[in-house]
Amino acid sequence: MIDLRSDTKTMPTEAKVGDDVVGEDPTVNELEAVAAELLGKEAGLLVTSGTQGNIVSLLALTRPGQKLILEQDAHIFHYERGGVARLAGLLVHTLPGHYGAMNPEEVEAAIWREELHRAPTGAVALENTHNRAGGTCLSVEHTNDICQVAHRHGVPVHIDGARIFDAAVALGVDARELVAEADSVTFCLSKSLGAPVGSVICGEEGFIARAREYRKMLGGGMRQAGIIAKPGLIALEQELPRLHEDHKKARRIAETLAELPGVRLDLATVQTNMVLFELQREDMTAPQLCEQLAEYKIRAKARSEVQIRLVLHRDISFRDTEQVCVALRETLGAGS
C-alpha cells in the first residue's frame, strides 16, 4: 500500500496498526470491542487518560449551563483541573458521601425541577472504586438506585470507573452488572491493570459516536494508537485474574498499620488496592513518616500533614508487602 494521504499514517514496524482517527487501527478496534464486551456495552472508545475519558463522556452527555451532580470527594471535582466547568460549562453540585456513596434521596432532591431560575441537571457522575474514600466500592444495588432516580428525571449517569474491575473483583460480581444501568463508563488501563497508557469509554453506539467527536476536539485522536492498545489488550487478558492479589496485599498492610500506635485507619475502607490512614502522633507527621520510609527504599506520598494513601499494584510483590509491614512496624512501633 502506498499511502499518500498524510504523514500521520506512518506505521510502526511491530504492531498491527492504522489511523485510529478514522477507525482504521485494528488493534484499537479490537481493544474497544473487548472493553465493550467486558462491560456489556455496545461500543468502546480508547482515550488518552481517565481525565480525558471523564470530560469526553460528560461533553457527550450534557450541554453547557447544565448541572453535574457529584459526590463531594469525587476525582472529577478534586483532581481534573475543573475541566467540567471550563470545557463542558457545567455547574457542579456536590453532595456528601458515605464511603463514596451519595444518598439517592439527596440526589433526587438535587435534581431540581425545571423552572425559570434553575440550571437543569445534565448528568450525575459516580466513582467506582472511590479514590478519596480509600478505594471503596459502590454496590450494584446502590448504582442501580442512583441510576433509577436519575433516569426517572431524564438525567443520564456517568461512572468514573477508573478502577471498576477492582470493584467487580472485591464485590464478587461481573463488571457488567456494576455498569448495566449507567449511560457511560470510563475505566483506566493504566491504573491497577498495569498498562502504560490509556483509558476506555464504553456506552451505546450513538453516545460513543458523539464521544469520538469530542475526543477529536480535545486532541485525543492518536493515529496509530495500536501501540497503546496492544498493552491494554494484554493487560485485560493478564491482569484481571490477579487483581485480587493487590487487594490481599492492601489488607495485609492495613491490618499491620491498624495495630500500631497513633494510626487511625478504618478497616472498612480497605476493600480494594488502597490503604488510607491518618497519623495522630505527637512525634511524627505524615510527610515525616514518608521520609523515614524512603530510608527503607519505600516511596509513599502524604496527602496532608496527617493523611497517607498507599496503593498496591502489579509491581509490588508479596515479599515487598512484607518489607513494607516491617518498615511500618519499625518506624511507628515505638512512640505515640
Which residue lies nearer to ligand TLP by CB, 17 or 189? 189
Strand, helix or coil for residue 243? helix
Q: Does 50 bind ligand TLP (CB under 6 A)?
A: yes
Which residue lies nearer to ligand TLP by CB, 50 or 97? 50
Q: Does 127 bind ligand TLP (CB under 6 A)?
A: yes
Q: Does 162 bind ligand TLP (CB under 6 A)?
A: yes
Q: How far is CA 123 from the centre of its chain?
A: 18
Which residue lies nearer to ligand TLP by CB, 74 or 263? 74
**Among 46-54, 168-176, 315-323, 326-334, which window interacts with ligand TLP (CB under 6 A)?**
46-54
Which residue lies nearer to ligand TLP by CB, 131 or 143? 131
Q: Does 160 bind ligand TLP (CB under 6 A)?
A: yes
**Nearest partner of 158 among 288, 30, 70, judged by Cα:** 70
Assess contact for 186 and 155: CB atoms under 8 A: no
φ/ψ region of 80 (left if φ > 0, alpha if ψ in -120 to 50, else beta) reads alpha
**Among 49-57, 165-173, 284-292, 315-323, which window interacts with ligand TLP (CB under 6 A)?**
49-57
User: Residues touching ligand TLP: how many (CB under 6 A)?
Assistant: 12
Write down the least CB distance from residue 1 to ligand TLP, Å: 34
Which residue lies nearer to ligand TLP by CB, 31 or 162? 162
Q: Does 196 bind ligand TLP (CB under 6 A)?
A: no
Sheet of strand 121-127: strand arrangement: 43-47, 199-203, 184-188, 157-160, 121-127, 67-71, 91-95
State which residue has the least CB distance to ligand TLP.
50
Q: With the C-alpha atoms ordered 162, 141, 249, 282, is the resulting torsion angle positive or negative?
A: positive
Task: Spell out where 265-306 has E strands.
Answer: 274-279, 301-302
Q: What is the DSSP letter of 308?
A: E
Which residue lies nearer to ligand TLP by CB, 41 or 158? 158
CA distance 137 to 29: 29
The three cell numbers locating residue 222 = 492518536
Write down the least CB distance from residue 268 to ligand TLP, Å: 19
Instruction: By CB under 6 A, name the binding residues for ligand TLP.
Output: 49-51, 75, 79, 127, 131, 160, 162, 188, 190, 199
